[in-house]
Amino acid sequence: MSEEFYNNPKLTVNNGSIVIYYYRENMCRYPTGFSVSNTTYKNGKFTEWDYKTNFLKPSSKDYDTKSKELEKILKKTKDIIKIKYDEQGIVLTGKELFRLLSSDYKVKKLNSTLNLRDHYEKFFELKKVRFLKKPKSLVDYKSLKNLLESYEVYYNKVISVRDFTDEFLEELVLFTEMEHPKVIERNGVKFKFKTKGRLIQNTLRKRLDNLKEFKDYLVKNKIVPESEFIEQRRSRILIPQKKSITLTIKEIHQLYKMDFKTKKLNETKDLFIFICLTGLRWSDVEKFDKRFIKIEGKNWTYETVPIKTEDSSSIICDIPLCNIVKEILLKYDKDLGKIVTNNQDFNVELKKVTKESKLFDDITRTKDKDTGSYLYRHELITAHKGRDSFITNLIDTVPINELMKYTGHTKVSTLMKYVDKSRKISHKFIEIFDNEK
């Protein structure tokens, strides 16, 4: 900020009252609540006031007390002008300053640091409170936090709120697309990067979604003005359509009948088959509770509230359980906790299962991010592919509204994202055209 604006406010005397004087476009004369003695020189100037320094003379009455309070008021005024400019790029007019001073604008709200990452820390703390029971939901917010930190270190600069513009966003996007070094030295200190760079478009869109939330938080708190540059940049992201990796019903049965060498692999197989035939997310498998299995004769139904939506829509899912699922549950006394590990370890074991099965050795069009070589299907199967398989295998036979009761989706568009569009088309659905009525 230029010295012209920062030094503009000053103390002056107006008919004996000490006021804050500031002029830009219009005048501000804000009373401080203090005054000088009405004694004047022949030229009409007040004897207790130093017109060169625009302050009380040390010889004036109650100088110590008055001077401290006047300095506080002047500092507060300068803080308001400076921070309003730094945070919002606004140079206050005289009327605007008078209004802020009159409304007892709290400078302590403005005294927070102007570093964009410091503001993000406050935003992140709010998210931590919100997702206290669901720490996994914080992953994307933490990734954005790491990205902002890596950006500052790499370019060796601090991002102020004023820098939060479309130009900064473009530079940040370019930074996500390049490969990040593992370690870099700045000012004699080695920094280890928590980001790798080379983000795919889908992940970049997630970062921009979180960045938009952060921007909305800043706008709400009147730290930055409203803008749409993040939304506009996000709209330019083209997500290449990927072929889903799913198991057909035949493959599910083939895999289920296999017996592997170790107990661990067989448990992994059983748990994966369970997911393929119930469509549960991993987080809901982890909290599986046999008390919510409803049995009516031969019909078993599992009732659950998905963790992902329990704090928002709180939709209750009713999932009908087929005979294979019943067999798996009875095998483990309806207690999946006996075979559930963590998601990462499970996926490692699952890749061993699918590879040893020899059922998924067909090559895909998906390339390895590092080597560029094409991957085999067994390399791409994860726990979440079980949910994809469940939805894909039922989408053409179960009414959509019924299927959504199983999966907990509230939008058809969201449900359809799980469908494997690489499956071969079926001619049976057009047979109706050949039947003359």
Model pLDDT for residues 357-392, shown as the tens digit of each residue: 999 999 988 888 778 899 999 999 999 999 999 988
- Please report how many Cα atoms fall inside a 13 Å half-sphere around the Cα of residue 379, on the Cβ side: 13
Average pLDDT score over the chain: 86
Q: Is 337 helix (H, G, I), strand (E, B) or coil?
A: helix
- Kindly compute the dihedral angle of the four CA atoms of residues 391, 393, 398, 399, in this order, to the nearest 10 degrees: 50
Same domain, 367 and 407: yes
Residue 7 has pLDDT above 70, yes or no: no
Q: Is residue 264 included in any domain, yes or no?
A: yes
Name the residue type at position 272.
Answer: F
Q: Rounded to whole angstroms, how far apart are CA atoms 68 and 91?
A: 27
Residue 176 has pLDDT above 60, yes or no: yes
Host H or E run for residue 364: strand 363-367
Same domain, 152 and 22: no
Same domain, 105 and 125: no
Average pLDDT rounded to a whole number, residues 173-197? 91
Q: Rounded to whole angstroms, how far apart are CA atoms 30 and 21?
A: 7
Same domain, 379 and 344: yes
* pLDDT grade for 206, boundaries at 50, 70 and 90: very high
Closest by CA to 418, choosing from 397, 381, 393, is 393
Higher local confidence (pLDDT), 225 or 244: 225
Contact 171, 177 (CB under 8 A): no
- Please report how many Cα atoms fall inside a 13 Å half-sphere around the Cα of residue 130, on the Cβ side: 11
Among 76, 95, 110, the domain-final residue is 110
Separation of CA 79 from chain center: 32
Q: What is the CATH classification number for the domain harbouring 346?
A: 1.10.443.10
Q: Is residue 433 included in any domain, yes or no?
A: no
Q: Show the DSSP H helices in 31-115 as ranges.
A: 63-88, 94-102, 107-110
Tokens 């997310």 belong to 281
- Please report how many Cα atoms fall inside a 13 Å half-sphere around the Cα of residue 257, on the Cβ side: 7
Phi/psi for 432 (5° steps) reads -60, -30
From the DSSP assignment, how many helices (H) and strands (E) are in the chain? 18, 12
pLDDT at 434: 59
Contact 61, 37 (CB under 8 A): yes
Contact 272, 353 (CB under 8 A): yes
Residue 2 has pLDDT above 50, yes or no: no
Higher local confidence (pLDDT), 396 or 241: 396
Q: CA triplet 218, 203, 370: central angle to 5 degrees?
A: 140
Same domain, 373 and 258: yes
Q: Is residue 414 included in any domain, yes or no?
A: yes
Kindly report, residue by residue over 412-426, the tens digit of the pLDDT.
777 777 776 666 656
Same domain, 296 and 416: yes
Average pLDDT rounded to a whole number, residues 387-413? 85
Q: Show the DSSP H helices in 178-281 as ranges.
A: 201-220, 229-234, 249-257, 263-276
Same domain, 138 and 219: yes
Same domain, 267 and 364: yes
* pLDDT grade for 118, boundaries at 50, 70 and 90: confident
First-to-last C-alpha distance (Å) of the chain: 82
pLDDT at 381: 94
Kindly report, residue by residue over 288-334, the tens digit of the pLDDT.
999 999 999 999 999 998 877 655 556 888 999 999 999 999 999 99
pLDDT at 226: 87
Same domain, 264 and 360: yes
Q: Which tokens belong to 315?
A: 């939709």
Same domain, 346 and 372: yes
Q: Is 312 helix (H, G, I), strand (E, B) or coil?
A: coil
Kindly report, residue by residue over 153-167, the tens digit of the pLDDT.
999 888 888 788 889
pLDDT at 134: 74
* CA R_g for the chain: 33
Among 234, 269, 296, the domain-final residue is 234
Closest by CA to 319, choosing from 354, 267, 284, is 284
Q: Is residue 24 included in any domain, yes or no?
A: yes
Q: Rounded to whole angstroms, how far apart are CA atoms 84 and 225?
A: 11
* pLDDT grade for 129, boundaries at 50, 70 and 90: confident
For the range 396-401, what are the long-range contacts, defined as Cβ-Cβ under 8 Å and sequence gap of 24 or more? 396/426, 396/429
Residue 112 has pLDDT above 50, yes or no: no
299-304, strands of its sheet edge to edge: 293-296, 299-304, 317-321
Domain count, the chain: 3
pLDDT at 332: 95
pLDDT at 5: 52
Q: Is 53 helix (H, G, I), strand (E, B) or coil?
A: coil
Residue 111 has pLDDT above 70, yes or no: no
Same domain, 103 and 143: no
Closest by CA to 317, choosing from 329, 327, 326, 308, is 308
Q: Is residue 74 included in any domain, yes or no?
A: yes
Cβ contacts of 172 within 8 Å, gap of 6 or more: 147, 151
Paired strand residues for 17: 14, 35
Q: Is residue 406 included in any domain, yes or no?
A: yes
Q: Rounded to whole angstroms, how far apart are CA atoms 108 and 284?
A: 45
Same domain, 217 and 259: no
Q: Is residue 255 included in any domain, yes or no?
A: yes
Kindly report, residue by residue over 65-104, the tens digit of the pLDDT.
999 999 999 988 988 888 777 666 678 889 989 988 888 7
Q: Rounded to whole angstroms, how far apart are CA atoms 336 and 338?
A: 5
* pLDDT grade for 338, boundaries at 50, 70 and 90: very high
Pairing assessment for the beta strands 293-296 and 299-304 based on DSSP bridges: antiparallel
Contact 148, 117 (CB under 8 A): yes
Higher local confidence (pLDDT), 32 or 112: 32
- Please give the residue range of the domain that contains residue 181: 116-234
Length of the chain: 437
